[in-house]
Amino acid sequence: MAMMYSEKVMEHFSNPRNVGEIENADGVGEVGNAKCGDIMKIYMKINGDTVEDVKFKTFGCGAAIATSSMATELIKGKKIDDVLKLTNKAVVEALDGLPSIKLHCSVLAEQAVKSALSDYYRRQGIDPVPIVGEIVDEDETDIGSCALAFSK
């Protein structure tokens, strides 16, 4: 089974970074996929325009844990404008690839980050949709649409 995953995926699965919760987080996002059972929750502490700290809790397969870990590594300490540019493709590339059947995990990681930012903006009294975009509903995110989203 490990042969289908890159060394980076196995490392982030075995030793995930930024696991946990942030008390009094400025933004919390949770997304899931009913078809595969993965659930990701991202907590953000934002200072000014920077994601000062980020933690995650993920219930799912090794790829879900690895993509959550990598996504948090890619956004920690970054300006919100840069975090908004995070794509599932960037997560996959940072992990040196994922099997096509696991690409939906990278989509969930991207959506969890965007969901946390949406929550942050809502708490500020700002409509997040023009800034963050729509968050994909779990019922709309199936393995086929995730593979399609990756190819865009």
Q: 105: which residues sit within 8 A by CB, 6+ positions away?
A: 38, 60, 61, 63, 64, 66, 67, 98
**Active-site annotation holds for 36:** yes
Please name which of 124, 123, 141 lies closest in space to residue 40, comparing C-alpha atoms.
141
CA distances from 77 to 21, 59, 127 (A): 17, 25, 24
Residue among 28, 36, 46, 70 flagged as catalytic:
36
Residue among 105, 109, 113, 135 flagged as catalytic:
105
3-state secondary structure of 47: strand
Q: Kindly list the catalytic residues.
A: 36, 105
